[in-house]
Amino acid sequence: MEMEFLYPQSEQFPFDRVCADIVNALEQRNWQVPGIEVEFDVYGSGEQKFRLARTIKGQDFKLYFCRRQRTMPGGRWNDTAAVSEIHIPQKEIHVCDDESGPTFYLYVGNDWERDREEFMTGRKVNSKLNGEPRMYLEYKGACDCRATGGAAFGAVEFLTAQIRRDADALARMTHSHKGRRSPLLVSNNDLGRGYDPEGDEPRRFKTVDVMAEFKRYLGDVVLKQIKLHPIPTEKVDLFAPPPAIPLPESIGPLFCFAEHREAQRIKQGQADIQSLAPADRSVEIGSGTRLAAWTVRNDGTVPDIAYEGFLWCGIGDVTAETPIESLQVPGHCRRSREQFVVRVKLDRANDIYIADHGPYEKRREELGAAMEKERSRFTDAEVSDFMCARARTIVPISEYKGGYEKPVVLINRELSFDEVELVSGPHNE
């Protein structure tokens, strides 16, 4: 089944149309324009999968598309191809489909060339609390009416409340209305964890003016830059599926554990796949456990793929008579609900990896032996240490040369019903 490509269609915000024009103009040019990078994303399940341009980035701008614009048929997935985050020089805005926010960031550092990348990609949380340099100010959407009346607040009244740190007065001035776009963007120091405006730095903006500025920049600069690039005569298909990669003969039979609902879906899909909803027409087992948790900081030695979610599989043959208690998948702690054993029969090596759990256990033992007697728990840094030791070993299974002490096979894609076989479990009948 051909994957559906999602385009920005919403016209909720003033800059929505120009963002859609940018996507269309890039597609006409095979997504290849000098100075602009496009990152695509795929989501969904079974026979209901979607592709979209998730990020469009240049030196001085970035568009991130992750705003819901409709619910897809079946109700399982949302169309998230509307723009949710826009960066232009020294400014950034985030918007939501329910009109909450918006959130606006203004650069107030003193060296834009130095700070550009950090401002565009860094986390804007607790900057003052963490002792980080004063690089940006945050502004949150707010209403300009009285919560109990209708008169607008004046600039002097607002500034006075700011100076006096009158939280009650500011709350009355900066409240918002659910489902209604806030007319103002008011300075927000996040309960003192962020920075306040200083001197003549703005305390608030009109939302309509800010959004109009983003729309102008995207049209007059970004879209104009793209349209200066000629449209090629030949269409290039960037999304042609890759050829199947054969599995190495050195990898023996595989198995994994499944819960009752997963086993039930396997049986139903193998008996009559059309009886399942389109989004359910594939095998989904497990919760997608990562080889390295998101909290593990990458020191440059851990492959990015280690932070993805996987189905963890053990190597070895299983039969209906094999006691489930005798089976172990290195690094995976079988949950009490996982009472079924599934034989995994891969038809290709695409998106299949292998890692060695041995270094994890070795470093954990070493750090545990060196631990002070009065300390009974590992520190976050120590946990990261042995997680990284394991994560560094991950390689595509097609490149595996052997020699791993405790190999675990990691599956990073959906499986077809032909690639699994339910071997045993308490509800087989």
- Mind listing the pLDDT tens digit for each residue in 34-53? 999 999 999 999 999 999 99
Q: Mean pLDDT of all residues in the chain?
A: 91
Strand partners, 107: 136
Both tokens of residue 407? 């190999």
* Tens digit of each residue's pLDDT (9 = 90 or more) over 371-399: 877 778 888 889 999 999 999 999 999 99
pLDDT exceeds cutoff 90 at 106:
yes
Residue 235 structure tokens = 């269409």
- Nearest by Cα to 310 from 388, 415, 389: 415
* Rounded distance between C-alpha atoms, residue 285 and residue 261, angstroms: 9
Residue-wise pLDDT tens digits, 230-262: 999 999 998 988 999 999 988 889 999 999 999
Local confidence band at 123 (pLDDT 50, 70, 90 cut-offs)? confident
3-state secondary structure of 228: coil
Q: At residue 168, does pLDDT exceed 80? A: no
Residue 196 clears pLDDT 50, i.e. is over it? yes
Low-confidence winner among 162-166, 167-171, 279-283 (lowest mean pLDDT): 167-171
User: Side chain identity at 413, as an amino acid letter?
Assistant: R
Q: How far apart are CA 67 and CA 72, in angstroms?
A: 14
Q: Determine the angle formed by the axes of helices 358-370 and 380-391, rounding to 10 degrees.
A: 150
Q: Higher confidence at residue 277 or residue 149? A: 277
Tokens representing 2 are 């051909």
Tokens for 382, please give them.
């120590």
Phi-psi region of 425 (alpha: psi -120 to 50; beta: other; left: phi over 0): left
Q: Would you list the DSSP string of 162-190?
A: HHHT-HHHHHHHS---TTS--SEEEE--T
Q: What's the mean pLDDT in 308-331?
A: 96
pLDDT in tens, 396-409: 999 999 999 999 99
CB 55 within 8 A of CB 65: yes
> Taking 70 as the threshold, does the pLDDT of residue 174 lie above it?
no
Grade residue 149 by pLDDT with cuts at 50, 70 and 90. very low
User: What are the φ and ψ backbone dihedral angles of 64, each rounded to 5 degrees?
Assistant: -120, 125
Other CB atoms within 10 Å distance of the CB of residue 104: 25
Pairing relationship of beta strands 78-79 and 82-88 according to DSSP bridges: unpaired
**Separation between Cα atoms, residue 396 and residue 412, nearest integer Å:** 10
369 touches 220 (CB < 8 A): no
Strand pairing class (4-5; 48-57): parallel
Residue 81: pLDDT band by 50, 70, 90 thresholds?
Answer: very high
CA distance 22 to 288: 34
Confidence of residue 144 (pLDDT cuts 50, 70, 90): confident
The full set of domain ranges for the chain reads 4-227, 254-424
Judge whether residue 126 has pLDDT over 70. yes
Beta strand segments in 236-394, E? 254-258, 289-290, 309-315, 340-344, 352-356
Strands, E assignment, 68-154? 70-71, 78-79, 82-88, 91-94, 103-107, 136-142
pLDDT of residue 148 exceeding 70, the answer is: no
The reported pLDDT for the residue numbered 250 is 83
CA 182 to chain centre: 27
**pLDDT classification of 147: cutoffs 50, 70, 90:** very low
% helix / strand / coil in the chain, to the nearest 5? 25, 25, 50
pLDDT at position 164: 60
- The pLDDT score that the predictor gives to residue 363 is 94
